[in-house]
Each structure stands twice: as C-alpha cells, then as structure tokens.
Amino acid sequence: QQQQQQSSATSGAGAGQTMVQMMSKLDYLTVVSDQDLDARMVKMPFEASDLQMLLILPNDRQSNSAYLCNKMTANKIDQIMDEFAKTKAHSVRVTMPIFCIDSGKISIQSTLVTMGASELFDKNKANMSGVCENKQVWLNKILHRCFIICDNRGSITSSTYEKARKRHASSVGKDGSLSFKRLTGVEEFTADHPFMYIILDSVTRTILMIGLYTDPSETLEVVHENQLSPDEAHQIYTEGFYKT
C-alpha cells in the first residue's frame, strides 16, 4: 500500500534541492484546486477517527509557501472543506516526504491573558481550588509544545485503499484475488516542494495543527521507540518534557 523511496525536494525560492526520504501511497482520495491560493489540495483521513490531514501544495514550485499563512482564515477553511464535500473521490497517488517537526516550547501566557485568564498568573487573585486543595497555588508560566511525525507506518487510513484497488482490477477470482490491468486515470499528487499541512477535525472543522514544510534539512530524524535503548528513551522523555 505504501512505498518508500529516495527523492529530491526543492527547499523554496532561491534554494537548491535536498535528497529526502519520500513515501508514496495509492488511495481513493479527493483533490481540489483553489485559484486564490494558487494551489492544489488533497484530503487524507486518519484511521478510525474524525481527524483529517490536508496538504496544500502551491502550483509555483519556487514558492516557499509562506504566503499561505495570511490567506488561511477560518472562512477560507470553510470554503475549502465545502469544496471537498462537493468533489468526488478518485484514485490518487500521494507522494510526500517522511518528516518530523518539533515546535519547541512556546509560552502561551500572553495568549491566555488576552483571552481573559489573567487571574491565573496573579498570586493574589488566582483561585485553583477546583483542581488543588492549596489555595495559594498560582501559575507563573504555561508552556505549549507539539510535534508531528509523518511516516509510512500507516497513520493515514488504508480503508479506502480497497476502493482504489478494485477500481483498477480487471477481474476478481473465485478466491477473491484480483488481477490488475495497467493503472490509468490515477492523479499524481507529488509534494516535492514547500507545502502547508493542516490537521483538523472534519466534524467541527477545528484546526488542531497547522504548519509549513519548507526546508527538508531542518526537519528531525524519525526514530521510533523500539529503536531506542531504555536509557536513550528515558533521556529523551526527561529532557524533552520536563526541563524548561
């Protein structure tokens, strides 16, 4: 269902090419275009979940995709999702980089204060009695950290893959086996230059994560837990999550 390959990706305007690990998947997906964004988009659902990933790929290969940030408003997201809802799915081969991006630790104190939660940070006014018996508790810092790992371990659903397979099967044997004719009518979606990715709830259309993939050399190496020794895993968890 998925293939891994070595390929080159363009880093953006004025940049050269970098060899990166790419993964490819044939599935039954929806692709739309947007003239305002000057980009193509594909929607990929997560398995057994309402979450979906959108890849927004500028038509201009030399673009660094940063211009998408100013255009990606709540209204624009609604327009995009409405367009996806009106468009039929078809056989699409998505080819994209394997990547891991860490946001680092970001202070969200000023954001919470702006939203009206300023008393949490005032030791004379904070009231944490709902979560703590000690009424003297107050907050002096709140940090947010998130990371995304996008690899070929199958986080994107493969349930619709059967539709794509059967669509291109010339015959089905009595034992259920499929014999294939040459694949035709497969749309290629190759993310080999800077793009935007969005993870959102398909029901509420709430954005959970949004980011830009612009420079392959700045992404982290994907290392899974079963490749780490107990000491290495412990060091990563303690340094990554508990130190400020």
Q: Which tens digits make up the pLDDT trace of 54-64?
A: 999 999 988 87
Strand 106-107 relative to strand 143-144, pairing: antiparallel
126 and 232 co-located in one domain: no
What pLDDT shows up at residue 55?
95
30 and 94 co-located in one domain: yes
Least trusted range by pLDDT, from 36-40, 107-111, 228-232:
228-232
Residue 16 domain-assigned (yes or no): no
Say which CATH number the domain at 187 has.
2.30.39.10
111 and 82 co-located in one domain: no
* Tens of pLDDT, residues 141-185: 888 887 777 877 654 433 344 444 555 454 445 454 444 444 457
Residue 1 domain-assigned (yes or no): no
Residue 231 domain-assigned (yes or no): yes
Higher pLDDT, 212 or 83: 83
156 and 201 co-located in one domain: yes
Note the Cα 127 to chain centre separation in Å.
Answer: 37
Q: How far is residue 121's CA from residue 141's CA, in Å, rounded to a whole number?
A: 8
Two structure tokens written together for 145: 């950290």
End-to-end CA distance of the chain: 41
Mean pLDDT of 82-88: 95
What pLDDT shows up at residue 180?
41
Q: What is the pTM of this model?
A: 0.67
Residue 228 domain-assigned (yes or no): yes
60 and 157 co-located in one domain: yes
Q: For the chain, what is the domain count? A: 2
54 and 167 co-located in one domain: yes
What pLDDT shows up at residue 181?
44
159 and 58 co-located in one domain: yes
Domain housing 38: 22-98+151-171+181-239
Residue 12 domain-assigned (yes or no): no
What pLDDT shows up at residue 46?
83
155 and 65 co-located in one domain: yes
Residue 176 domain-assigned (yes or no): no
Question: Looking at this protein, which amino acid is placed at residue 160?
Answer: T
